[in-house]
Structure 1
Amino acid sequence: MTGPTSEVAGVLLAAGGGSRFGGPKALVEFEGERLADRGVRLLADGGCGPVVAVLGAAPTALPGAVTVVNPDWATGMGSSLRAGLRAVPGSARAAVIALADQPLIRPAAVRRLIEAFEAGAEVAVAEYGGQPRNPVLISRAHFAEVCALAEGDVGARPFLRARPELVTRVACDDAGDPADVDTLEDLRRLSAVRADVDRRPPGR
């Protein structure tokens, strides 16, 4: 498969303090790799460039990413989303937004969102089991509206609910698992189910 023809940036939200986990999840290791590094790789391998990683509670070097520190990270995901979209270079026609705490999502999900954008979708959302989750692609034309509606810890959700006519859902059931790492028990559980995820037919 050839790579995407558009310039689509990646935005990784990795700024949170991990209050339920007991520390910043961006630095937590999953299968020997920090969640933030894994998120950068997800976006890059999926065809995004550049990748903008938004940090906050735990600023750190992230090879392969342009890092942005959100001083308002404690206010929630909304401020981090705004910081990330504002850091996307002007040459990018869209951005794929991913969260650092979903380590089982595969690059195939990102590629499918980009393919949907190339086919004309202005907003594309990965869907698992009929439910919209992450990652999400948003075309540049809607960055300002997304930023205006992003408040607290809800990120792009208010925009997606306000503009359902723009949303294209993209089936990603065979492109990973969107489960979150919110607690140490979640981390243990996802590590245990990793083998099952790897046995699923790989997405393109």
Structure 2
Amino acid sequence: MVLAAGSGSRFGGGKLLASWGAGLLLEGALAAAFAAPVRSVTVVIGADAEAVAAAARSFDPRVLVVHAPDHAEGMGASLRAGIASLPPDAAGAFVFLGDMPRVPTAILRRMAEALAGGAAAAAPVFEGRRGNPVLLSRALFPDLLALTGDAGARGVLQALGGRLALVESPDDGVLFDVDRPGDLNR
């Protein structure tokens, strides 16, 4: 799933629809999500819902769109909406952030292999810093459905200890996100 429900207030609004490369910022996250070993890609929308949904469908009409009605609460609401929308037989969920356009796709299969090998979740690391996306096993879905506020899955991941597989990233794309317009030029 790609979380794309935020208002981008630090950016001044409309962040996910900002120009990035030859397309839109959101398209970087979508490209990574479609490169992952998954059955489907869901985009969770909220602020700018119609425009973000249209951009996602324009990128790939196979995308599933889910609206998080309480998106203003923060990332917890987006995660709840996304997790609740998954099919009952989903073994897990990758969680991509719509404002992270440079995720190296080489890590995605290795993350899936870690989960298949028994990890409760997998996350990339670059130079000792944990990044995104994360891959969460179905066993964590009840905890994710109980999230509130804007911290996302951070607390759930921290509680896993050694059950969180850390996968070394080939570059800093797992850390790079866009918060302000000037970040587009980094």
Which TM-score applies when normalising by structure 1? 0.81
For residues 139 and 29 of structure 2, the distance between their equivalents in structure 1, rounded to whole angstroms, comes to: 25
Aligned to 2:175: 178
Mark the runs of 5 or more structure 1 residues left unpaired by the alignment: 1-10, 190-204
| 1:165 Cα deviation after fit | 3.4
Counterparts of residues 33-182 of structure 1 (less than 5 Å): 33-59=23-49, 60-61=53-54, 62=56, 63=60, 64-148=62-146, 150-174=147-171, 176-182=173-179
* In 1, Cα distance between equivalents of 2:158 and 2:115: 19
Preserved contact between residue 122 and residue 166 of structure 1 (Cα < 8 Å): yes
**Secondary structure at the counterpart of residue 134 of structure 1:** coil
Q: Is the 8 A contact 2:75 2:152 kept in 1?
A: yes
Q: One-letter code of the match for 2:168?
A: A
In structure 2, relative to structure 1, the CA distance for the partners of 1:127 and 1:106 (3 Å cut) is: same
Whole-angstrom CA distance in 2 between matches of 1:16 and 1:98? 13
Instruction: Assess if the C-alpha contact under 8 Å between 1:76 and 1:152 holds in 2.
Output: yes
Q: Report the alpha carbon displacement of residue 48 of structure 1 after superposing the two structures with TM.
A: 1.9
Distance 2:141 2:85 in 1: 11
Question: C-alpha deviations, 1:132-180, integer Å up to 9, x for none?
Answer: 11111111111011222x2211100111122223211111134734211
SS of the residue corresponding to residue 82 of structure 1 reads helix
User: What SS is found at the alignment partner of 2:16?
Assistant: helix
| Structure 2: distance between partners of 1:52 and 1:177 | 20
CA distance in 1 between partners of 2:89 and 2:28 (Å)? 25
| Change in 2 beyond 3 A, CA 1:177/1:139 | closer
Q: Is the 8 A contact 2:132 2:175 kept in 1?
A: yes
The TM-score, its normalising length taken from structure 2, stands at: 0.89
Q: Can you give the 5+ residue segments of structure 2 that lack an aligned partner in the other structure?
A: none
Q: Is the partner of 1:145 in helix, strand or coil?
A: helix
Aligned partners of 2:122 and 2:165 also within 8 Å: yes
Quote the offset at 1:27 in angstroms.
1.4
Q: SS in structure 1 opposite 2:48? A: coil
Give the match's secondary structure for 1:20.
coil
Match of 1:31 among 8, 15, 21: 21
Give CA deviations for 1:16-52 in whole Å, capped at 9, x if unaligned: 1000101132212211222223212211112222111
8 Å Cα contact 1:27-1:58 kept in structure 2: no
CA RMSD of aligned residues (A): 1.5
